[in-house]
Structure formats: structure tokens, C-alpha cells
């Protein structure tokens, strides 16, 4: 009996989540902090409502995560030359270093995959994943 497509997707998701957890543990980050560090662009001041959308969190939950990340030194409130009612945040030096470490570890994982796949396998995989993603999103 062959494994179904959904089962394969779940296996892939589980493997990816395990990699994420390994990275988070090495950096002592919660899942929300991990996402928060990844959604910000170094040097950019992002309004909190945009951060919450990118993180997939409610504004109130995101506010608590941002406050914790500020206490832990990953984010800081950015100077806001516009509307003072809108809080913007940016990564600190510590946040940028953590983001760089995350990107490096993710790149190592991707390199490991790419070493074991031919160009034709990679193209077939990308095409299949794109099609499956399009199908699932449109349903």
C-alpha cells in the first residue's frame, strides 16, 4: 500500500517542525519569538499591526510577544517620525544576530537537501509543491 499525498505532506511538515525546534532550542526562542525575528527586516521599522499579520497572531497576542522580545533584547521601539499613535518596532543588534544564525541554519538544511537532489528532481519537486499549494489554497 502506497503512502498518500497528505501523509507525505504531514511527514514533511513534521520533519520541518523538528528542524525549527532544533534551531529554536539552540537559540532559546519560543515559536512566537522565532517567527517574530524572521518577519522583521534588519534596519526597517515595521508597524506592530503589520508584524501581527506577518506572524499570524492577533494584535493583543502580538503585543505581548513584542513586549517579551523587547525585554529579551531582540526588538526595540523604532523612532516614529509619523503618527505617534502607531508603534513601530525594529530588530536590535541581538535580534539581527539571531536572525542571521537562523538563516544560516536554514541554509545549511537546504544545502543538505540540494546536495542529494538532481536538478530534474528539484524542478519536479518545486512544480509539484507549487501545484499542491495552489490546489490547497484554492479549496
pLDDT tens for residues 2-34? 779 889 999 999 999 999 999 999 999 999 899
Domain extents for the chain?
5-138
Q: What distances in angstroms separate CA 3 from CA 8, 10, 78, 117, one per listed residue?
A: 7, 11, 50, 21
pLDDT in tens, 21-75: 999 999 999 998 999 999 999 989 898 889 999 999 998 998 899 999 999 999 9
Domain topology for 5-138: Arc Repressor Mutant, subunit A (1.10.10)
Q: Is residue 1 over pLDDT 60?
A: no
Dist. CA 20–CA 30, nearest whole Å: 10
Amino acid at each position: 500500500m502506497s503512502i498518500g499525498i497528505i501523509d507525505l505532506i504531514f511527514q514533511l511538515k513534521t520533519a520541518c517542525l523538528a528542524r525549527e525546534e532544533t534551531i529554536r532550542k539552540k537559540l532559546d526562542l519560543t515559536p512566537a519569538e522565532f517567527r517574530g525575528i524572521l518577519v522583521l527586516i534588519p534596519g526597517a521599522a515595521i508597524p506592530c499591526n503589520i508584524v501581527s499579520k506577518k506572524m499570524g497572531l492577533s494584535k493583543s497576542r502580538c503585543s505581548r510577544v513584542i513586549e517579551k522580545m523587547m525585554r529579551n533584547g531582540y526588538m526595540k521601539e523604532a523612532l516614529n517620525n509619523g503618527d505617534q499613535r502607531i508603534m513601530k518596532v525594529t530588530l536590535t543588534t541581538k535580534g539581527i544576530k539571531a536572525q542571521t544564525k537562523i538563516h544560516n541554519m536554514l541554509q545549511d538544511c537546504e544545502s543538505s537537501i540540494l546536495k542529494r537532489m538532481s536538478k530534474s528532481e528539484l524542478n519536479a519537486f518545486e512544480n509539484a509543491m507549487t501545484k499542491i499549494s495552489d490546489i490547497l489554497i484554492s479549496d
